[in-house]
Amino acid sequence: MCPRMVLPSTPESEAAKKLLLTPNACVAFLGSAVSNPPAGTWKDLVREIASTSGVTFDDGIPAARYPDLIDDCIAKDEAGCNQVLRRILPEHSSSSRTALHYIHSFNLKAVVTTNFDPYIRFQGSAEKYTHVHIYPDLPLSSGLSNGIFYIHGYFGADDVNANICRLVLGRRSFEQAYRDSLLPGFLLNLFVYEDIIFVGFNPTEHYVSQLLEQAMRMRAEVGSNKRRYILVRAPSGTASDRAWDENWVEQIKSLGIEPVYYDSSLPDYNGLEELLNTWLVQSNLKSRPAPLTPSFGMN
């Protein structure tokens, strides 16, 4: 068994914890790592869609090219793409990470997600989250409070009208979403005027990182002191692995986001679950759902 990592408290981790435990104080920005990806991984999902659509999938293709491959699949067999999502997303919903349950236990101002499956919506309390907005319907002036925002679209497997073309998944849909829709304005407003904690998301992704850089300039102009944190695995592994992790963290910091580390010695993302659970246990929140049994085996 690998020895457990001892991560000391830091000013960033204490500030992020305090922010999460303050009712209605911050927005959780959730990426794919808060759940077990459909079909296993992003790569497996793209492979499955390609196989069903009759498009050749090369294991060596870089992830940056996946959106182009999705466009090819849609062009060749749109109905087949939809069938894959209808089959896989219910499986995804039944295996989402415990971290998502913990996130919903905090009294958040709002949840913003790039995921497009229904599980995040269904796991949220109807009393807490009173409205759900789905791309391209992203309000710029009505406020974020008590909302869930699917900024890359939403695919309900039981919805006969659900279609892969309504998701921000292929290259053309990314270009349209980040250039010709309300999404950039929505995200700029979020990045400038809200306290945010990123969970399971990579802010260095091309389209979002450009908006984060623009938001940094705007924050300086308006004097915004809103805080941005990201929960990340502590650098570990070989010297080259650690160097890669540390370089990525520096990129994160250059976007005005402070990293808060969790234990990377635990398998999968269990360190993230343990961190969130620990913060909940330490909190004095008066009302939250009964704690679940975490997958990392704590009693």
| pLDDT tens for each residue of 40-57 | 578 888 999 999 999 999
CB distance 111 to 26 below 8 Å: no
Q: What is the pLDDT of residue 286?
A: 44
Q: What is the pLDDT of residue 116?
A: 87
Could you tell me what percent of the chain has a pLDDT over 90? 59
5: pLDDT strictly greater than 80: no
User: What is the token pair recorded at 18?
Assistant: 């305090």
Q: Average pLDDT, stretch 172-197?
A: 96
In our burial notation (b when 16+ CB lie closer than 10 A, e otherwise), range 260-271 reads bbbbbbbeebbb
pTM of the model: 0.89
CATH code, 11-35+97-282: 3.40.50.1220
Mean pLDDT, the chain, whole residue set: 86
Domain regions of the chain by residue span: 11-35+97-282, 37-95
List, for residues 130-164, the tens digit of each pLDDT value: 899 999 999 877 789 999 999 999 998 888 999 99
